[in-house]
Amino acid sequence: MKSPLISATIITIGVSACVTAASNEEISSKAAAMLKSSFKANGQATLDRLDQDATQHLCSEFAGKAPPRDVAQKIEALNLATVKYPTDGNLLGDWKNGEKIAQEGRGKQFSDDPAGPVGGNCYACHQLSPQELSYGTIGPSLYQFGKLRGYGPETQRYAYGKIYNPDAYAACSNMPRFGHNGILSEQQIKDVTALLMDPASPVNR
Ligand code: HEC
């Protein structure tokens, strides 16, 4: 026969299990609240940066691993729909200016001047021109991008769209959504696209 003490212990364990078994949603909202409470708004870095949009929310659900194919397709379609191509139809700007933007790491941090300059910091993750020896390797090398892919309108459109919103072509990309998040202007995206696509740019020589 069970002693009353053992029964009471079993009941206690049962009750505490119910109390601690929080749903994923509860855990997520607690984690979000904890994150928010540990950050302070500072200059242009305001706390709305912690608010996830639908893409970030979906990607967080599969953090650390690739989302299932149907989810990835949904994310890519969602992001492709946000890409605003230039109304004048011209996707290529000035590659010399594009090189400066690719080199420029300042922009949206709390310690940066909100009046600019704002860059793309492409070299932090990519090799681009062979003249620049210091580059990161989180992203693939973009050296000879246009030369290898072809200089035609389809590649131009892909390059512009990729810089505008990388998730349009690779769900949950680690690359910043430069156009979508208003980091780079339309002209700046044209200039960086020219850096990748102009046959005269150091990327392709
Ligand atoms: C924080 C790192 C990071 C930064 C900064 C970054 N990228 Fe990327 N980029 C990546 C990663 C990772 C990939 C590969 C995954 C993907 O396709 O999204 C990539 C992919 C690309 C591709 C597709 C390459 C291919 O083979 O099709 C292009 C084009 C590109 N980046 C251009 C740029 C340009 C231009 C800039 C600067 C305006 C830039 N990236 C800044 C991380 C970065």
The CB of 91 under 6 Å from ligand 1? The reply is no
Beta-bridge partner residues of 45 = 42
Query: The CATH number of the domain where 115 resides is what?
Result: 1.10.760.10
**How confident is the model at residue 28, as a pLDDT?**
81
Q: What pLDDT shows up at residue 1? A: 45
Q: Determine the pLDDT at residue 19.
A: 57
Q: Is 122 within the bounds of a domain?
A: yes
How far apart CA 146 and CA 187 sit, in angstroms, is: 19
CA distances from 134 to 123, 130, 181 (A): 8, 10, 26
pLDDT of amino acid 6: 53
Any atom of ligand 1 within 6 Å of the Cβ of 103: no
Q: Is residue 177 part of a domain?
A: yes
Q: Does 26 fall in a domain?
A: no
Please report the atom of ligand 1 found closest to the CA of residue 101: 38
Is residue 142 within 8 Å of 161, Cβ to Cβ? Answer: no
- Helix axis angle for 69-80 and 54-61, nearest 10°, is 160
Question: Residue 36: what pLDDT?
Answer: 85
How far, in Å, is the centroid of ligand 1 from the Cα of 187?
18
pTM recorded for the entire structure: 0.89
Q: Amino acid letter at 62?
A: F
**Domain span at residue 129?**
53-205
Rg, Å, the chain Cα set: 23
Task: Find the 125 Cα to ligand 1 centroid distance in Å.
Answer: 7
Q: Where do the DSSP E strands lie in 26-176?
A: none
User: Which pLDDT score is estimated for 29?
Assistant: 85
Residues of the chain with pLDDT under 70: 1-20
> From atom 8 of ligand 1, which residue's Cα is the shortest distance away?
175
Distance 87 CA to ligand 1 centre (A): 24
Instruction: Tally the domains of the chain.
Output: 1
